Structure 1
């Protein structure tokens, strides 16, 4: 069906407006990802210090019996990181699918789910999974610490102050993959990795470590900071991935809009040329008719 000049002009204006919105969203995604990435790098340095402290503690004590009380936890907590922002594809559906698959492969324990984001909660509801609690994702990099603190508090409350003995904790989040893709990561947090409890392998300095705090208080503090840093890192990486995913989708959308704009511009030029040609022919025919 032939399109009129007016219709093509409106379509061109609409596509131009859409392209402006897409370009703005793409720019915002690139800008928003940077603070989260910086936060992830910063917490990595802090986490290395905490792990060094844990290595020193284990080396100094030669392996504490408190550290091995985690062999048979009675409960399992899944901390799943989703997104409450749109334009990031099937982000929440992928995380919800990972929760379902992980749960089906694990031994039957009393299961709890801590969900980050109401949209992820809706995705879990579709699989008949009901989260124990729903926390809001951070609106900025400054909110990651708040979220990590809330998660640690929830872990301690659920573990009755002895999360090592009563609770297995697993983090499920997304991280960046090659070529702008994303992948779902399932990372056990508690019980502690056995590699962290090997005194002969975890201390390389010739200076012998020592401490003055009560052993249980120091151990509790080290583990709490390890959990906090791990949760903080997972949250920051999830936010970086969300923005990276949105950026990739906006780039695809921008390319698609550009292709449509080119096609409309060609049609517009063709219709304009036809109208000009018709007007010239009318003038010529009118002039010839007067002769």
Structure 2
């Protein structure tokens, strides 16, 4: 009995330590979620400014040098940016994204015969994508980018991705770019989403041209309109990638928070079971000692 009680006491101590670690991870995940969500909200005003700049360009001028689609687009490659995670304890975060990317690219492959270049941001999502069947041919998985662990590191990451994409477009290896990431959701923690970044789709251009300028003073684009439009498109891409990265990191931490909450619940249930077993064994040990005392007392009484 003594060994069993001692063993339970050690298990209870280990469980308390594990619960402390889980509580710390919960606090860190909650803090990170707030940080990344605040970053997404702070982009709204800047995105609106870029959007109105594009409105001015599209309503007044249509620049084919920037938005045209190649006549041989079916033969050119596709660039794919996928945000995942580097760390574990996120449930099916990477598996869900890999499956979503596979389904979406299968649809794209029906119309495109060119090569695909996939920028996988996150070591775990890269390994998941490498295991899928579509990665066996006509796909290059690149892991040049490290998933940022803070808001300050997102800007550098986005800049590097845009530079690499521009290099591939100048080489003529790709003409379309798609973005995949998780977006936070109230009901289901997160949901995988995708969008076509390049070329600017006709529907996106139509949305810009259909929007009305907020004042009666119509804008005028300064000389070198194509250069201005290219700069605005680059800023649009920057905001889109920054938002996607921040939303993905917020979703990752939300998934980790949910996993820690489940773990904490399981630990508390295990704690209750261990405490009940400990008290039951301890009471049984005390009862046995009392029985020994009573038996000894009765034996002494009978001898008298």
- Compute the TM-score of the two structures, normalised by the length of structure 1: 0.92
Structure 2, unmatched stretches of 5+, are: none
Within a 5 Å distance, the mapping from 1:1-291 to structure 2 comes to 4-61=4-61, 63-70=62-69, 72=71, 73=73, 74-106=76-108, 107-108=111-112, 109-127=114-132, 129=135, 130-160=140-170, 167-198=175-206, 201-204=210-213, 205-291=215-301
Q: Which sits farther off after the overlay, 168-177 or 101-110?
A: 101-110
**Change over 3 Å in CA distance of 1:45–1:161 after alignment to 2:** farther
Q: Which sits farther off after the overlay, 200-209 or 143-152?
A: 200-209
Alignment length (residue pairs): 288
Question: Over the residues paired in the alignment, what is the CA RMSD in angstroms?
Answer: 2.2
Q: Secondary structure at the match of 2:82?
A: strand
Residue 181 (structure 1) shift:
2.9
- Compute the TM-score of the two structures, normalised by the length of structure 2: 0.88
**Change over 3 Å in CA distance of 1:12–1:33 after alignment to 2:** same
**Separation in 2, partners of 1:227, 1:190:** 9
Q: Secondary structure at the match of 2:120?
A: strand
**Separation in 2, partners of 1:207, 1:116:** 43
Q: What are the Cα deviations for residues 29-48 of structure 1, in whole angstroms up to 9, with x where unaligned?
A: 00111111111111222111
Structure 1, unmatched stretches of 5+, are: none
**Separation in 2, partners of 1:26, 1:157:** 41
Q: Secondary structure at the match of 1:148?
A: helix
Q: Secondary structure at the match of 1:160?
A: helix
Question: Contact 1:67–1:197 (CA<8 Å) still a contact in 2?
Answer: no
Question: Contact 2:63–2:226 (CA<8 Å) still a contact in 1?
Answer: no
Q: What are the Cα deviations for residues 208-239 of structure 1, in whole angstroms up to 9, with x where unaligned?
A: 11132411210110110001100111000000
**Separation in 2, partners of 1:47, 1:78:** 22
